[in-house]
Amino acid sequence: MRLLLATRNAHKLREIREILDLPEVELIGTDEWPGLPEVEEDGLTFVENAVKKAVTLARAAGLWALADDSGLEAQALGGEPGVYSARYAGEPVSYPANNAKLLDRLAGVTDRRARFVCVIALASPDGASRTVTGLCGGRISLAPRGANGFGYDPVFVPDGLDRTFAEMDAESKNRLSHRGAALRQAREEWRELLRGVAAGRVTSAA
């Protein structure tokens, strides 16, 4: 079966392809399916946004679709930047500017606890959907470190380690990350469903 990956973020696409390894499923990027609509991410939760992205693109393409909505929540900032993670420092999206704003907001703050959240939504062409959620706890470093990964990786140190995500190779990050956790759960929970879709027995995620 073909599964449309409803994200325009190339870093996420790579991580999803690395982790969601299902034999019956051919993963298709949005660049391979012209004419898809832009989705405005105006939800107040990661679940709302992930479902909206997956359902909109599944309906438009007539394919099953998988979307990721994710972000960082800093404890001392009441969960900021949260669903606003991508555009925290405004448009155009700049990862260094987002990191600088976060470090600025946390200047002099001793509670540096934070967590990454990743919601993956799976939608069928009829508009039905399911979600899984992955979390990764850690803390915000005092300064950016490392050049791997994307987004807030240079300022995020996962629990139990001293290196930021940006100082790790992809495999180590995937083992610990919110996206890794969500995708492993997706693979477990949805394997049979996707097999049914591939065999023509299942037509809806409802």
How far apart are CB 197 and ligand ITT at their closest, in Å?
Answer: 22
Q: How far is the CB of 28 from ligand ITT (least distance, A)?
A: 15
Q: Rank residues 89 and 198 by Cβ distance to ligand ITT and give the closer one.
A: 89
Least separation in angstroms between residue 47's CB and ligand ITT is 12
Site residues (CB under 6 A) for ligand ITT? 7-9, 12, 41, 68-72, 85-86, 98, 116, 149-153, 165, 177, 179
Catalytic hit among 21, 31, 68, 69: 69
Task: Please give the DSSP secondary-structure letter assigned to residue 69.
Answer: E
Sign for the CA dihedral angle at 126, 59, 174, 24 comes to positive
Mapped onto helix, strand or coil, the DSSP state of residue 14 is helix
Catalytic-residue membership of 162: no
For ligand ITT, the closer CB: 72 or 168: 72
Q: How many CB atoms lie within 10 A of CB 183?
A: 24
Starting at the edge strand found earlier in the chain, the sheet holding 156-158 runs: 26-29, 2-5, 64-74, 113-123, 129-140, 156-158
Q: Which is nearer to ligand ITT, 71 or 125 (CB)?
A: 71
Q: Is 72 exposed, middle or buried (0-12, 13-18, 19+ CB in 10 A)?
A: buried
Which amino acids are annotated catalytic? 69
